[in-house]
Structure 1
Amino acid sequence: MTDFLIITCVQHSKANGEYYAYGPYVREMNLWIEKEQSVKVIAPMSQSLIPDKIDMPYVHPAFTFSEVPAYHVQSKQAIIQALKDLPGIIGEIYRAMKNAKHIHIRIPGNMGLLAMFIQILFPKKPKTIKYAGNWDGQSKQPRTYKIQRFIANSTFLTKNAKVLVYGKWPDSTTNVLPFFTASYREIEKEPVDKPSLSDKIRLVFIGALYDGKNPEIGLKLSHLMKKEGLNFEFVYCGDGVMRAELEAQSRDLGLQDQVVFKGNVNAETVKSILKQSHFLIFVSETEGWPKAVAEAMFWGCIPFTSRVSCVPQMVGEERERGVLVSKDPQEIFGKLKTLLADTKELERMRDDAISWARKYTLESFQTEIEELK
């Protein structure tokens, strides 16, 4: 019998006898499993044999991993392969659920989609379901995401479960609990001492470089700032399919001296950069609880960010702790200049962002998750 079963679509790798996955996810899961006697994870393995810089290992003495194929249905060939793989995946999830004391499902995702259907067969098993996406029922999302949301929200289909979502939403049932995530410990609440804005304006983007995150907006903003004659630096932390395109665009705009591409970096490097940065430029189209925004606020790096998921609840609708913006670089630049011209308002916004973000530490997170089991 497994004490704690995790089902996720996050891809894993193995090195030196340890299983690795995306760092922020594993950091959270290590808190979930810390006090469990035995843990099992069902997930796909990455094609890469080497963990990425951003990856972390699970830490648990009684940890087992069950590899299942990653599947999708985006092409005819993929559909044929999925039909071959699905019976084995479904069987593995069913057997694991039957032998688990507690079931933890990560959604939305392809593996979570199967798990949400199978968990209906185990109404008496205690479950926690983490919806790590946008719970807003009015948002535009893939049909499979909406199916997973519907099943999780249904008190008829999903029983004895606590569904953890980001933010408060009017159509949520008694299954649903507003929740949060965290990156830092209480001991990390250091005083914030930013470099002078008069010396250099420091901006940062943190996240994957693909079109859903709109990383090109940072370059367009940088171009406007350079034309205005401002002294600034824009740092990209993250990698992805758009990196080469963005680097070429940066050269074409003559921004080599202002824009820096760091690639994927570890959590300590992100922390160091945020402590020195004044503004986060993060205009994503799809988020759950954006760690980039929460971590930036923790270090007094004021977010300029999009109205998506629970972000307005994080930064405030009226510029309380950050600035909500559209994808228009001219609009962002105008709001940035307005804030730069008002030092008192900038300092107030920064201090309020710090106060809000520092309520959500790893210690408070661990206390909350222990009460959920």
Structure 2
Amino acid sequence: MRLGVVSNVVHYATSDGLHAYGPYARELDIWADLFDEVTILGPCRNTRPPGDAVPFTRKNITIVPQKERGGDSLSAKISLLMSVPAMMQDLLRGMANVDAIHVRCPGNLGLLGVLLGRFVARKRIAKYAGQWTPYPGEQPTVRLQRWLLGSSWWGAPVTVYGKWDRQPSHVIPFFTSLMDADHMGRARLAIARREPSAELRIVYLGRLTTSKNLDVLLRAIQNVTAQGLRVRCTIVGEGPERQSLEQLAMELSLAKNVRFTGGVPHEETSTILEDADVLVLVSETEGWPKALAEAMAFGLVCIGSDRGLIPQMLGEGRGIVVPPGDVDALAKELGRIARDPERCLSMRGRAAAWAQQYSLEGLREALRCLLNERWGTNIPPVTRTVRAVAGNQ
């Protein structure tokens, strides 16, 4: 069976193959295990991939490039609106050569994929990879996609992160992972070997963007160090805010406390987690933050914002939740952990036990069962070993 994937993610074609953002590429590798062919309908650049991109490892994945359109300016929005007919025509050409459609939302292409897929494909499934509840600053087109997918009009399964009030039966809680079985074993070993440290070791993993509130983390660290507590923070990832964040760290006299690594191989990310005590993720909005799940699996104390799925992930004593822009609240929790790290032992254990349920192998089998149930197909079990690609974070 041939699967078409409608995705707004930017892909990169090089002599080494096709690359994309790490967690997304690893997930599509899993989808490719279940189909004879996977054709991506999405943007593609013939340039060097950024540090957080990894290669697709499955040879049955190809791409039919879609032109990149959109932007924040008024002229870009008008241009996008004018180009909708051409975008729909390009998508229809790609959809004509597949047997089933997987639409990934939210995104401009995702919205068109939902509108077209409803009429083109009998076998279809959507993934909503954002927060499945309204949030401040949400774009109207994002709200529209969520409404369409949540309605009976869509008529097909939708996977979302978490379980929410008044969730229709076709909207199904689903969780992805960055970790294969071997990686899970490494996480369990790291927990067994973890020893107390003389300083509080904080880590952040992800994109360096405004919505991640890394300025809040830096100011909270300044607050904690002013109390005479020893703190070391490692910020892993790339993004448009890196330069301004490095400048802020200098202004706050945190040059000796905070290290920016840029994008690093996933193997190195695991090493960083083994040498950390706390992960902080106080974003304005989140779907299923895979870095948070990975840190939980490694037994870190996790502090997240009270947005999106994070309260569900860190509920029942698995972590700590604070308002996303509250420097004092974050500093207070970091100070408590620094002064009494032993109080978090049971929290670490509960977090690890919960997160280690979700592996790449488990994701693949869950997808297979879901597709067979909802589509009436008979996709056979896959026995090949899943290997998480050693790409960048």
Instruction: Give TM-score scaled by structure 1 length.
Output: 0.92
Alignment of 1:338-357 (within 5 A): 338-357=336-355
In structure 2, C-alpha distance between the alignment counterparts of 1:158 and 1:94, rounded to whole Å: 18
Alignment of 1:1-373 (within 5 A): 3-16=2-15, 18-46=17-45, 49-72=47-70, 74-83=72-81, 85-122=83-120, 125-137=122-134, 141-155=138-152, 157-159=153-155, 161-188=156-183, 189-190=185-186, 191=189, 192=191, 193-197=193-197, 199-316=198-315, 320-326=317-323, 327-373=325-371
The CA deviation at 1:17 is 5.2
In structure 2, C-alpha distance between the alignment counterparts of 1:302 and 1:7, rounded to whole Å: 36
Deviations, residues 249-301 of structure 1 (Å, cap 9, x unaligned): 21122211111011122211221111111001110011110112111101111
Deviations, residues 62-121 of structure 1 (Å, cap 9, x unaligned): 333111111126334324533553323211212332332111011001110111111121
Paired AA for residue 62 in structure 1: N
Query: Is the Cα–Cα contact under 8 Å of residues 102 and 125 in structure 1 kept in the other structure?
Result: yes
Matched residue of 2:335: which SS? helix
Paired AA for residue 321 in structure 1: R
In structure 2, C-alpha distance between the alignment counterparts of 1:242 and 1:170, rounded to whole Å: 35
Paired AA for residue 175 in structure 2: F
The CA deviation at 1:53 is 2.5
In structure 2, C-alpha distance between the alignment counterparts of 1:324 and 1:70, rounded to whole Å: 37
Query: Is the Cα–Cα contact under 8 Å of residues 283 and 305 in structure 1 kept in the other structure?
Result: yes
The CA deviation at 1:339 is 3.5
Instruction: Give TM-score scaled by structure 2 length.
Output: 0.88
Q: Which residue of 1 aligns with 2:380?
A: none
In structure 2, C-alpha distance between the alignment counterparts of 1:340 and 1:256, rounded to whole Å: 20
In structure 1, C-alpha distance between the alignment counterparts of 2:336 and 2:78, rounded to whole Å: 56
How many residues are matched? 365
**Structure 1 segments unaligned to the other structure (5+ residues):** none
In structure 1, C-alpha distance between the alignment counterparts of 2:290 and 2:208, rounded to whole Å: 15
In structure 2, C-alpha distance between the alignment counterparts of 1:23 and 1:231, rounded to whole Å: 33
Query: Is the Cα–Cα contact under 8 Å of residues 233 and 257 in structure 2 kept in the other structure?
Result: yes
In structure 2, C-alpha distance between the alignment counterparts of 1:71 and 1:121, rounded to whole Å: 24
* Distance 1:328-1:79 versus aligned 2 partners, 3 A rule: closer
Query: Is the Cα–Cα contact under 8 Å of residues 64 and 94 in structure 2 kept in the other structure?
Result: no
In structure 1, C-alpha distance between the alignment counterparts of 2:32 and 2:232, rounded to whole Å: 40
Choose between structure 1 and 2 for higher RCO, CA contacts under 8 A separated by at least 6 residues.
2
In structure 2, C-alpha distance between the alignment counterparts of 1:95 and 1:259, rounded to whole Å: 49
The CA deviation at 1:29 is 0.6
Matched residue of 1:350: which SS? helix
The CA deviation at 1:304 is 0.9
Deviations, residues 284-321 of structure 1 (Å, cap 9, x unaligned): 011110112111101111111101111111110x5x01
The CA deviation at 1:8 is 0.2
Query: Is the Cα–Cα contact under 8 Å of residues 164 and 177 in structure 1 kept in the other structure?
Result: yes
Structure 1 vs Structure 2 CA RMSD: 1.9
Paired AA for residue 180 in structure 2: R
In structure 2, C-alpha distance between the alignment counterparts of 1:268 and 1:65, rounded to whole Å: 27
Query: Is the Cα–Cα contact under 8 Å of residues 154 and 175 in structure 1 kept in the other structure?
Result: no
Paired AA for residue 30 in structure 1: D
In structure 2, C-alpha distance between the alignment counterparts of 1:68 and 1:299, rounded to whole Å: 39
In structure 2, C-alpha distance between the alignment counterparts of 1:42 and 1:363, rounded to whole Å: 25
In structure 2, C-alpha distance between the alignment counterparts of 1:171 and 1:23, rounded to whole Å: 32
In structure 1, C-alpha distance between the alignment counterparts of 2:76 and 2:259, rounded to whole Å: 38
Paired AA for residue 194 in structure 2: K
In structure 2, C-alpha distance between the alignment counterparts of 1:140 and 1:221, rounded to whole Å: 24
Query: Is the Cα–Cα contact under 8 Å of residues 132 and 146 in structure 2 kept in the other structure?
Result: yes
Matched residue of 1:333: which SS? helix
Query: Is the Cα–Cα contact under 8 Å of residues 4 and 102 in structure 1 kept in the other structure?
Result: yes
Matched residue of 1:115: which SS? helix
In structure 1, C-alpha distance between the alignment counterparts of 2:203 and 2:165, rounded to whole Å: 34
Paired AA for residue 104 in structure 1: H
* Distance 1:340-1:115 versus aligned 2 partners, 3 A rule: same
The CA deviation at 1:185 is 1.6
* Distance 1:145-1:30 versus aligned 2 partners, 3 A rule: same
